[in-house]
Structure 1
Amino acid sequence: MKLATIKDGSRDGLLAVVSRDLKTAQLADSIAPTMQKALDDWDFIAPQLQDLYEQLNAGKAARSFAFDAKNCMAPLPRAYQWADGSSYVNHVELVRRARNAEMPESFWHDPLMYQGGSDDFIGPQDDVYLLSDEWGIDFESEVAVITGDVPMGSTAAQCADKIRLLMLVNDVSLRNLIPAELAKGFGFFQSKPASAFSPVAVTPDELGASWRDGKVHLPLRSTWNGKLVGQPDCGVDMVFNFHQLVSHLVKTRNARAGSIVGSGTVSNKDSSKGYSCIAEVRCLEMIADGAAKTPFMKFGDTIKIEMLDHAGASIFGAIEQSIRQAAIP
C-alpha cells in the first residue's frame, strides 16, 4: 500500500492512504490520525489501512479526493531517528580518490553511517530554504526505509521483517562546509540541513520483484534544472543492503518504530548511468582533469527525484524542489 501525510497546519499532519496510480487518496483518520500512530501499532493498524487501500484502488472508497503531492508533508514529518548510511562504496571511493586519500579496507565490510536531524523534514514539493548559496549546495538522491521496533543486537536476517515502508530522499548537503566539520573529527552537523522525502511511502510488496535481498532493483532518476543527470540502478553496487544497515544501527541501541535509515547516495561504477549528487561528477572531473568544473546549486535551481516502475509509472511520486534564499530571522 501507499501512504502519505497531508498538510493540515499541524506538525504531524493527517495520515492518508493513496491509490496505486497516485491519483486519489482518502484520509485514514478513522484508523490512525498520523503516520507515527500507525507505526506504533503496525500489526493492528496496517491490515485496516490495507483494506482501505484496496477499496481506494477499486474506486469504492467513500471519502476519496484527488491526490496532489503539493499538499503533502514528508510521509513522516518528524521522526525519532534519521540515520543515513553510505552503502554505495563506489561513491565514497570516488570522493577519496579525488583528494588523493586512501580508502580504509574496513569501508567494504563495516558501513559508514551518520545521524542527521529528524525534527524538521521538508515536504516533497516544498522549496529548500538556505541562507547562502556559497555553502556548496548539493542534492543527494537516495532510498530510505522506515522501521518498526528493532531490538538491540538484531542480526541482518532478523531485521528483514522490521522494514515497514520505503521512500525516496533528497539528503541536502552543503559541500563547502563539510571539510572544516570533518577536520574536527566529530562528523557532520551544519553541513547536513533538513532532508526532503517523497510524497508517499510504500510497503515493500508494492515493489514486487524489484524488492529483493534487502535492495530496490530499479533506477533512481535525478533531474537538475530540467536535465536528467543520473539514473543509476539502486540494486547495483549497493554493498550493504537495508537489512545490514538496520542491523548496523542497532548494534548498541534499540531502534523504535518510526526510525528512518537511508541508503546513502545511489552510485554505480558504470559512470554512463550519470550521478545522484553533484559532488560525484566533480570528483570524476578532478580525477580526469585535475579540477572540478561543474558548479554546485545556486538560488533558483531546481531538482526532481523520482523512481519509475518497469511500466514507466511513478512509484513514490516525485520530490520536486527549488533552492531559495531564506530570510534572516
Structure 2
Amino acid sequence: MKLGSLKEGGRDGTLVVVSRDLSKAVKASGIAPTLQRALEDWSNAAPRLNALYDVLNQSSAETVNGEEVFAVDFAALASPLPRAYEFVDGSAYLPHVERVRKARGADVPESFYVDPLMYQAVSAGFYGPRDSVLVADEAYGIDLEAEIVVVTDDVPQGATPEAAAAHIQLIGLVNDVSLRNLIPPELAKGFGFLQSKPRSALSPVFVTPDELGEAWQGNKVHLPLLTHVNGKWFGAPEAGVDMQFDFAQLIAHAAKTRPLSAGTIVGSGTVANQDTSLGASCFAEQRTVETLRDGKPSTPFMSFGDVVRIEMRGRDGEDIFGAIEQRIARAE
C-alpha cells in the first residue's frame, strides 16, 4: 500500500491512503489520525489500512468508509512523516566513500568495509516533497543527496540483522540536503555534522515492501534512482548494486546499544555505483569524479532558483513514490 500525509491537522499532518497510480487518495482518520500513530500500532493499523487501499484501487466510488475520495495534489502533501522521533542516515554505498577519500588522497579504513558509517540526522521537521529548500547563503555549498529510506516499527535494542529485517514496514525516498562548504570545518572539530546538515525532504508517499515486488530483495531496492537538475538528467545509479550494507544491517547497527522507536527513519546514504556512466546522486560525487579525471571539479554546487527532481520508477515505468521536486531558495 501507499501512504502519505496532508498538510493539515497539526504538525504531524493527516494520514491518507493513496492509490497505486498516485492519482487519488482518501483520509484514514478512522484508522489512525497520523502515520506516526499508525506505526505505533502497526500490527492492528496495517491490515485496516491495506483493506482501505484495496477498496480505493478497485472502486470508482466517490466515498470510501464515509470519507471523500479526492484527487492527489502533491503540493498539498507534507512528507509522509512531517517529523519523526529519529532519522539516522548511513553511507552504505562504498563507491561514493572510496572516490571521495581518493580525491583527497586518503585511504578507506578497513573498518568501513565491515562497520557502517552512520550519523544522527535532523528529524524534528521535514520539507514537503514540493516545498522549497531554504538556505541563507549560496556560499554554503548547496547540495542534494538522492537516497532511499526505510521506516521501522519498534525495534528492540540489540536486534540482529535477521531480526531487524522484520521491522522494515515502509520504504521511501529522501533528498538529504547538505551544505558542503560547512562540512570540513565541522568534521575538523571531531564531533560530527550540525550546521552542515539542515532539513531534508521525503517522497510524497511511503510504500510497503510488497509494492516493490521482485525489486525488493535482500533488504535492498533493485531499481535505478533517477535525479534531474533543472530538467536535465543528472544520474540514475542502480540502488541494488554496490550497496555494502543492506537496510537490515543498517537498522541493526543503529539498534546495537538502544531501541529504535516506531517511526524511525533509516537512510541508505547517497546512492552510487562503480559505473560512473550511470551518473551521480549528489554534486559532491560528480565533482569528485571530475577531480579524479581532470584534476579539479568543473560542476558548481547548486544556486538559488535551481530545481532538483528525485524519483524512482518500476521496470514497467510506473511511478512508485511520487517525485521530490524542490527549488533552492534564499532563506529570509
TM-score (norm 1): 0.98
For residues 87-102 of structure 1, what are the structure 2 equivalents within 5 Å? 87-102=92-107
After superposition, give the CA deviation of every residue in 1:245-276 in whole Å (9 maximum; x if it has no partner): 00000000000100000000000000010000
Task: Answer yes or no: is 1:195 the counterpart of 2:200.
Answer: yes
Offset, 1:152: 0.6
State the partner residue of 2:251: 246
Deviations 1:109-149 (A, max 9, x none): 10000001100111001000111111000000000000010
SS in 1 for 2:44: helix
CA distance in 2, matches of 1:206, 1:34: 21
Equivalence for 2:30: 30
CA distance in 1, matches of 2:169, 2:195: 30
How far does the alpha carbon of each residue in 1:60-101 deviate from its partner, in whole angstroms, 9 at most, with x for none? 452210011111111101100000000001101111011111
1:67 aligns with 2:105: no
**Which position in structure 1 is the counterpart of 2:91?**
86
CA distance in structure 2 between the aligned counterparts of 1:133 and 1:9, rounded to whole angstroms = 34
In the alignment, structure 1 residue 168 sits paired with structure 2 residue 150? no
For 2:33, give the aligned amino acid.
Answer: P
Please tell me the residue identity of whatever aligns with 1:56.
L
Letter in 1 for 2:279: G
Query: What is residue 17 of structure 1 aligned with on the other side?
Result: 17
One-letter identity of the residue aligned with 1:165: L
- Aligned AA for 1:88? Y
Off by >4 Å, runs of 4+ in structure 1: none
SS in 2 for 1:178: helix
Match of 1:223 in 2: 228
Q: Distance in 2 between matches of 1:238 and 1:103?
A: 16
Match of 1:122 in 2: 127
**1:147 partnered with 2:124:** no
Gaps of 5+ in 2: none
Moved more, 48-57 or 62-71: 62-71
SS of the aligned residue for 1:134 comes to helix
Paired residues, what number?
Answer: 327
Task: Name the Cα RMSD after superposition.
Answer: 0.7
Please tell me the residue identity of whatever aligns with 1:198: S
* Letter in structure 2 aligned against 1:10: G
**Candidates 313, 316, 319, aligned match of 2:321:** 316
Q: TM-score, normalised by structure 2?
A: 0.97
What percentage of aligned pairs have identical amino acids? 57
Structure 1 alignment gaps of length 5 or more: none
Q: Which deviations, in whole Å up to 9, do the C-alpha atoms of 1:295-315 show, x marking residues without a partner?
A: 000000000000001111110
Q: 1:9 offset after TM fit, Å? A: 5.7
CA distance in 2, matches of 1:291, 1:206: 42
Structure 1 match to 2:262: 257
Distance 2:237 2:291 in 1: 21
- Correspondence for 2:291: 286
Aligned twin of 2:48? 48
